Amino acid sequence: MTMSAREKKTRALRILDALVERFPDARCELDHEGPWQLLVAVVLSAQATDVSVNKVTPRLFGAFPTVQHFAAANAVDVEAFIQSIGLFRNKAKNVVGAARKIVGEHGGLVPAEREALEALPGVGAKSAAVIVANCFGVPAIAVDTHVGRVSRRLGLTRHTDPDKVEAELTSLLPRERLLQAHHTLIFQGRRICESRKPRCSACPVAGECNKVDVDVSV
């Protein structure tokens, strides 16, 4: 039996409420103060864990306290602080390039529009959504690997393309709860609905899930 649009929305809200109850403290796990530091942390986090990023950012931000410091730096100076992170050379170049563009074109302030953010080196659609949602109160749900996987397993979407997943989740959930959905789906994906071995017996939304105890491959 196919669900009506209203039923789908009600179900999505039920799932979100259960995840919020389980993870009331779900939040951005990249340590940062302000939009610029979050931008740097997000750029560094591509194909790296938040934990590994959090290990290097205190010293990095100690050495380069502002966006102007990064803009004035050479990429090799930044590299020295992030060598434990994958793709560090490219990331150092992107962070310095982004800082120069922000100082040169945006008066030293991180832009609050997704389009302007996506024009910065190293900042893709997902990163831009993370920044505007966390720092500027713009309703957006950034779709990373966890958000995509958990949403598919729960039947909230069938899409694999992150833009399409974002559009579907945005149509299902109230705009003011998109950031909360982003954080709780990530917590669920990291702690319960893990990629290889979902812990279905400990899952707060197992009652909503067709993949419970199935050998999932999505």
Interaction with ligand SF4 in 114-133: which residues (CB under 6 A)?
A: none
Stretch that binds ligand SF4, among 29-37, 68-76, 110-118, 205-213 (CB under 6 A): 205-213
Residue 120: how many other CB atoms lie within 10 Å: 25
In whole angstroms, give the CA distance from residue 72 to residue 113. 24
Q: Tell me how far CA of residue 138 lies from CA of 86, 105, 179, in angstroms.
A: 30, 22, 9
- The binding track of 139-178 with respect to ligand SF4, each residue x by CB under 6 A or -, is -----------x--xx------------------------
Amino acid identity of 77? Answer: D
- # residues contacting ligand SF4 (CB under 6 A): 15
29 exposure class (CB count in 10 Å sphere: 0-12, 13-18, 19+): middle
In whole angstroms, give the CA distance from residue 43 to residue 140. 18
Please state the length of the chain.
Answer: 218
Widest distance between CA atoms in the chain: 61
Does 72 interact with ligand SF4 (rule: CB under 6 A)? no
Q: Which is nearer to ligand SF4, 178 or 206 (CB)?
A: 206
Q: Which of 12, 133, 181, 192 binds ligand SF4 (CB under 6 A)?
A: 192
Catalytic residue among 144, 163, 197, 215: 144
For helices 162-172 and 5-22, the axis angle rounded to 10 degrees is 100
Assess whether 126 carries a catalytic annotation: yes
CB of 200 to ligand SF4, least distance (A): 3
Look up residue 119 and give its DSSP letter.
T
| Coil, strand or helix at 94 | helix
Q: Which of 12, 78, 82, 216 binds ligand SF4 (CB under 6 A)?
A: 216
Assess whether 213 carries a catalytic annotation: no
Does 18 interact with ligand SF4 (rule: CB under 6 A)? no
Active site residue ranges: 126, 144
Residues that bind ligand SF4 (CB under 6 A): 150, 153-154, 192-193, 198-200, 203, 205-206, 209, 211-212, 216
